[in-house]
Amino acid sequence: MSKTLKYVFLTFWTLFVFVPLSWALTTSFKTPDAVNQGATFIPWVQFEPTVAGWQDILGISGYANLIPNMVNSAIVTFFASLISVSLGGFAAYGLSRFRYGWKYYGNSDIIFFFIAQRILPPVVLAIPFFLLLKGLNLLDTHLGLILVLTSGLMPIVVWLMVDFFNQIPREIDEMAMLEGCNPFQAFRRTILPLSKPGIAISTIFCVIFGWNDLFFSLVLTFTNVKTLPAAVVALNGTVTPFWTLSASAIFSILPLIGFVFIVERYLAKGGFSGAVR
C-alpha cells in the first residue's frame, strides 16, 4: 500500500477517535440556544461557551451532584481491583508453578473455570446476586458491590498473569527455595519484584472494567453507593438537558483518560506480552 494511503487511513482513524469526544466536550459548554440551533462544532466561532452544564452536575446549581458518585466509583473500583489482583495473582502464580488435580481435572481446567466466568453476562447473575446480597444484608453497600465485581475481575487477572508467570524462569523461585525461602517467601522476595509489568497491566484492566460497570450498580445499589455510570445513566433517563448530560459524560470518563496517559507505557511494553503468548 502506498504511503499516502497509509497516512490518509491513520488520519481518518484518529479523527474518528476524536470526534465523539470533542463533540461531547464542546456540547458540555453550549447554551440551550446553541444546542437547539442544530449541530455546531467550534466554540466562540459558532457559539458562545458557558459553564452552566458543569454547574448542573457539580452541585453548584442544585440540579445534581455527581461528586459522591465519583467517590463511590473510586472506592468500589479500588477495592475490587485490589482484591482481584492479589487473590488472582496468587492463584495465577500457583497455577503457573504447581500441578493441581482433582480426579482427571488439571490446571488447564481450573484456568478455564476462571475464564469461563467472563462468558456470563451480568444480567444473568443480577437476580440471584440481588437475592444473595439481600440475604446477607449487603444490598446498597460498598462491600456487596465490591464482592460482585471481584467475581468478574479476578478471571481477567488469572488469565493475564498465568502466562506472565510462566515466562519468568522457574529456576529463580526454585533457587530461592533452595536457599531457604518457603514458597510464599520465594514468591514475595523474588517473583513479586519481577512481576511489576504484569501486575500493572492486570490492574489497568481491572480498573477499566471495574470503573465501567453499569449493570450491577444499577441493580444492586440504590442511593448510598450508586456509581458514576449508573448515576449518569439515571440522569439520561430524566429530562436532563443535552449540555448537562455531555458535561456528566466528560466528567465520568475523564479520570480514566487521565489514567491512560499515566500508564500507557505499561500497556505498550512487556506487561501484555504474557497474555498474548
Partner 1 sequence: MNLYLENAGVSQGKEVILEGITYDFEPGRIYVLMGRTSAGKTSLMRTIAGLIELTQGKMLFDGKDFDALPTWQRNTSMVYQQFINYPNLTVLENVTFPLRRSGMSRALAEETAHKLIDKVGLGDFLDRLPGKLSGGQQQRVAIARALIRNANVLLLDEPLMNLDYKLREQLREEFRDLLTTARNSVTIYATTEPSEALLIGDELLIMHEGKVIQHGKPSAVFEHPNSVTVAKIVNDPPMSILPAKISDGMLCIGDLLRLRIPMHLVGIPDGVYQAGFRASELTISTDGEVTEQGVVDLVEVAGSETLIYVNTPTGEIVIQKEGIHGYHVGEKLGVSIPSARTFLFNPSGELVVAPGN
Partner 2 sequence: MGITFYKRLFLLPGLLLLIAVIIFPLLFSIRVSMSSWNVSRSGLDFVGGSNWARMFSDADFWSSMLRLLNFAVLTTFVQYVLGFMLALYIWQGVKGGRFFRLVWLVPLMTTPSIMAIVWRSIFREDIGAANGILKMLGLSTIGWSTEVVPAIFTIYVAEIWQWTPFMFLFLLAGLLILPKEPLLAAEIDGASPSRIFWKITFPLMAPISIGAILIRLIESSKIFDSIFVLTSAGPGSATETPTYFLWKRSLAEFQIAYGATLALTYLIVMIILLTIIAKVLTYLARPRGW
The footprint of partner 1 (CB under 8 A) covers 169, 171-172, 174-183, 185-186, 190, 193-194
**Min. distance of Cβ 126 from partner 2 in angstroms?**
6
DSSP 157-180: HHHHHHHHHHHS-HHHHHHHHHTT
**Residue 174 partner contact from partner 2, partner 1, none using kind-dependent CB cut-offs of 5 to 8 Å:** partner 1
Tell me how crowded residue 131 is: count the other CB atoms within 10 A of its CB.
Answer: 11
C-alpha cell at 56: 448542573
7-26: which residues touch partner 2 (CB under 8 A)? 7, 9-10, 13-14, 16-21, 23-24
Beta-ladder partners of 43: 47
**Residue 181 partner contact from partner 2, partner 1, none using kind-dependent CB cut-offs of 5 to 8 Å:** partner 1
**Residue 41 partner contact from partner 1, partner 2, none using kind-dependent CB cut-offs of 5 to 8 Å:** partner 2
Beta-ladder partners of 102: 105
Size of the site for partner 2 (CB under 8 A): 94
Which runs of consecutive H residues, i.e. helices, occur in the chain?
Answer: 3-27, 32-36, 52-57, 67-97, 107-116, 122-135, 142-167, 170-178, 183-186, 196-212, 215-220, 228-237, 242-268, 273-276
**Min. distance of Cβ 44 from partner 1 in angstroms?**
53
127-186: which residues touch partner 2 (CB under 8 A)? 127-129, 131-132, 147-148, 150-151, 154-155, 158, 182-184
Torsion sign over Cα 118, 120, 123, 125:
negative
210-269: which residues touch partner 2 (CB under 8 A)? 211-212, 214-215, 219, 228-229, 232-233, 236, 242, 245-246, 248-249, 252-253, 256-257, 259-261, 264, 267-268
**Min. distance of Cβ 182 from partner 1 in angstroms?**
5
CA angle (125 as vertex; 212, 210 as ends), nearest 5: 20
Binding status of residue 27 toward partner 2 by CB under 8 A: yes
Decide whether 180 or 237 has the Cβ nearer to partner 1.
Answer: 180
